[in-house]
Every structure is written in structure tokens, then in C-alpha cells.
Amino acid sequence: MATLTDKKRTKSRSSGRPAAELIFGNLWQFDPAPETADPKLKARYDLFIGGKFVAPASGKYFVSINPANESKLAEIAHAGVADVDAAYAAAQKAFDTVWGKMPGKERAKYIYRIARLLQDRAREFAVAETMDGGKPIKESRDFDVPMAAAHFFYHAGWADKLDYVAPGRKVVPHGVVGQVIPWNFPLLMLAWKIAPALAMGNCVVVKPAETTSITALKLGEILQDAGLPDGVVNIVTGFGDTGAAVMTHPTAAKVAFTGSTEVGKIIMRSLAGTEKKMTMELGGKAANIIFDDAPIDQAVEGIVNGIFFNQGHVCCAGSRLLVQESIADEVLAKLKTRIKVLRVGDPMDKNTDLGAINSKEQLATIGRLVASGVKEGATMFQPECKLPAKGWYFRPTVFSGVSMSHRIAREEIFGPVLSVLTFRTLDEAVEKANNTAYGLSAGVWTDKGSRILKMSTLLKAGVVWANTYNKFDPTSPFGGYKESGFGREGGRQGLLDYCKLV
């Protein structure tokens, strides 16, 4: 057992002298702190079409698995082409008869109700989100659910002010929009998609990811409680075949997709030659850039948040760390010390920092890419931590000695894996940061405001964070460049993607 006097020496930049570091080892252990709120799960979930829960025409269901312990959570309806047709018919009817004709101030009332009801059931939804997706309960509780409600609140405020979205122009809704959302932020991405569409007067057919459908279907219960007119929002669940039917349906005037770049390209090819409007929020390989005048302790916290938040299942994760050469050793040493105390384990424990990987398939993908990093000569560091016997987990991983030719520096891993590269000059940092097919986000850490402003103009990324990372707000647009997609979600810019200018 370690003692309070056990020390490890690291060099301090500020004093030039070695800095003492306390190593507590196993002196203290965390008591279990499980979340006990009832998620109110059903044994079986049907499709939400025309304001009602209905069985799929085929009678087929699939199982949703808890990634933390591999147990069955619920059976989920598998929507076929007939079900998607019914969903679009209900949406078109609602748009033609009710929602498309309703004044904005009346639409706002429904969207406000959705936000308030979501707040009322916040703990229930947080637990359901964690059980279905594997993320730590403190992230579902403190970020996902509150931010989802915030998006509904924000867009409800816009619903009666649409004359100001595009000054000098009149805006009209597209009509019916098709949406497909990913598995990493199921409820939040649902809010990102649905809220602006409803505020603009559109009706929706939305398909959640097959591994994380539960909170989307639970939202259907809230839509019923809010009195939302039948057919305004329709939720169809299933696999890729269901998503393809939603994206290519002739009724959809616009489609929105969040997911991998590969699937995004397939969708775009399938819609080529049609008049459908599209927005795509795709993959990323963000650079988190640390200059030698950065507040290093603060930056280390930003690095940890940037790559280990939600187990790295984040499109804008700061998976490439670019550190100025003169401080690289110090940053790496402090980073290793920091991740040694990250707790990996039961997502339902409030002490947990990294929960379960979303699926067995994603765990295998992470493992293959990490193995490629070792094979190609990068130096891997993983803290010692005992992983649960059941479930899908991966240790926080840091690779140093990485070059731009490594697969781990080029490909999106979508897991808790960080690649560390170095640079000497600002120009070199910009060149390395932009040397990627992606362009979703970036982070800059420096004490100089002028440098931050310059970097924000040079970096080819839709979002550039300054001395922080992973900060989101409904009022701020989010989206990418290059193979990270096009269009924006959030803010006035996000609303413009859900309307036509006339």
C-alpha cells in the first residue's frame, strides 16, 4: 500500500525545479455510488407513428443490449418499408392539415411543453440513456438530458420570430423531413434534429440508431403528454435498411444525417439527382493544439475532456494532440498522471469517468486501430485499471511518438484513444492540424488572444474552441467542412437549414 509520502518527481516549467507529486495508490477506495432512479423501461417498444405506438407490419423485433453488462434491456420494433411509408403519410397529413398552417406562437407552446416535460423526467431519461448507451450517468445526467431540453427551449423561442431568421427574406418550411441520428448522443442528437424542424413548421420522420433506440421512443411518450398533434413527429426504429428507407423516401423534402462519413457518402450518392435538401454531420479527427504559453494544468483537463468524454464516442473528439515541442515532455507527464486516476467501470456509478463502449463491434474496431498503432511503432501508455468481467470496456489510451503517417493519426477511432504529435512553429501546427480529410472541430490553448484569433481563421474546422473543449450551446451553430459534412445545427444558421427562402 502506498503512503502519503510516496513521491514521483516531474519537472516544473514555471520554477525549473522538479515538482513533487503525491502518489496515493490504493490508500483510499471509492465506495459504490449507484444511481437508483427508475428508468421505467418497457419489455417491448413499438414504432411511434401518427401519434400512437404501433406494432411493425412485419412483426419483427430486435434486442437492445446494455453494453455495461451485456444484459437484455428491451425488444425494439424493426420498421420495414411499409412502416416508413405509413410514417411519411402521417407526417404529410399533419403538415397539410395542422402543423404547416399553425401560427409560430402556437407551435412554440408545444415545443415548450416538450422541454418542460423532459426536465420533469430528467433522472428517468438519464438512467435510460446510460443503460442503453454505456456512457457514465454523470454525463447523461449533467449534459445530455439538460442540453436536450435546452435545445427545445431555445427553438421554442424562435418559433414566433421566424421573420428575423433571414432579414429581408420570407422563410417557409420544407414540409416533411427525414432524419437519422447516431448512437453516441441518442437523446441530444434527437433534440438537435427535431427542435429546429418543428420550430420552422416542418413535420418529421426520424430513425434512431439500432443500439440506442430507447430514449427516442420514450420521447414519444413525452410527445403524447405534450399533446403534440398526431403525425408531427414519427419515430421508426431498425437497422440500415430502415435508415435507407427514411433517407430515400420520395415524400421527404429534406434529409438530415449524423453518423460516419462512409454512410454519409452512400446517402449522398443515393440522393444524387433528386431535389432533396441535405445536411450531413459526419466524422472528425480533431486537433487539440497546445502552445508553450498555455496554462498547462488547465490544458491537461481540456485534453482529458476532449478525448475521454463519452469514452471518445464523439465526432468532434480531440483525438490528435498537437503539443509545442518545448513543453511536450511536461504535458505528456502531467497527462499520464491525470489519466491514472480516471475511473473505468460501471456507467451507473456516479464515480465513473469512463463507462462502457457502446457495442461489441465498436470495441473490436477500437482494438484493431490500437493494434495498428503499436505495430507501426508508436509508444502506447495505458493506466493500470481493473475492467469489469462482463461488458465492453477499453482503457484510456495515449500514444506518443506518433507521425501523420500512422493510421491512428489519420482514421477516426471513435474511442478513448489519443495520438500525441509535436510541432515547433505556428505554421507547422496549422499544417498538421489541417492535414486531414476531416474538418469538424479543433482546440487552441494559448495565453495570447491574437494567436487564438489567427488560429481560428487558419484552421479548417467548423468549430474552434479557445482554452476549453467540448463546449456546446443551442445558440451556437455546429457543423463541419470537407469530409466532416455540411450544414449547421444550432443557432440561427441551423434554423436556415430547415426552411426555404422565398
Contact between residue 310 and residue 184 where contact means Cβ atoms under 8 Å apart: yes
Name the H helices within 272-377.
296-308, 328-339, 360-375
Structural domain for 96, as ranges: 44-282+481-501
Nearest to 393 by CA among 134, 211, 138, 139: 134
Q: Which residues are catalytic?
A: 281, 315
Pair (278, 312) in one structural domain: no
Q: Is residue 35 part of a domain?
A: no
Contact between residue 76 and residue 263 where contact means Cβ atoms under 8 Å apart: no
Name the H helices within 238-388.
240-248, 261-271, 296-308, 328-339, 360-375
For the chain, how long is the longest CA-to-CA vector? 74
Pair (396, 415) in one structural domain: yes
Pair (241, 125) in one structural domain: yes
Q: Is residue 139 part of a domain?
A: yes
Pair (75, 189) in one structural domain: yes
Report the side by side order of strands in the sheet with 417-423. Answer: 379-381, 397-400, 417-423, 320-324, 287-290, 441-445, 463-466
Pair (94, 134) in one structural domain: yes
Q: Is residue 339 part of a domain?
A: yes
Count: domains in the chain: 3
Q: Is residue 476 part of a domain?
A: no
Contact between residue 428 and residue 450 where contact means Cβ atoms under 8 Å apart: no
Pair (211, 114) in one structural domain: yes
pLDDT tens track of the chain, all 502 residues?
Answer: 343 333 444 455 545 555 566 666 667 788 899 999 999 999 999 999 999 999 999 999 999 999 999 999 999 999 999 999 999 999 999 999 999 999 999 999 999 999 999 999 999 999 999 999 999 999 999 999 999 999 999 999 999 999 999 999 999 999 999 999 999 999 999 999 999 999 999 999 999 999 999 999 999 999 999 999 999 999 999 999 999 999 999 999 999 999 999 999 999 999 999 999 999 999 999 999 999 999 999 999 999 999 999 999 999 999 999 999 999 999 999 999 999 999 999 999 999 999 999 999 999 999 999 999 999 999 999 999 899 999 999 999 999 999 999 999 999 999 999 999 999 999 999 999 999 999 999 999 999 999 999 999 999 999 999 999 999 999 999 999 999 999 999 999 999 999 999 9
Pair (74, 141) in one structural domain: yes
State the amino acid at position 421 in one-letter form.
Answer: L
Pair (289, 222) in one structural domain: no
Question: Which pTM value belongs to this model?
Answer: 0.94
Pair (236, 318) in one structural domain: no
Read off the CATH number of the domain in which 409 is found.
3.40.309.10
Pair (323, 248) in one structural domain: no
**CA gap 460, 144 in Å, rounded:** 27
Pair (184, 242) in one structural domain: yes
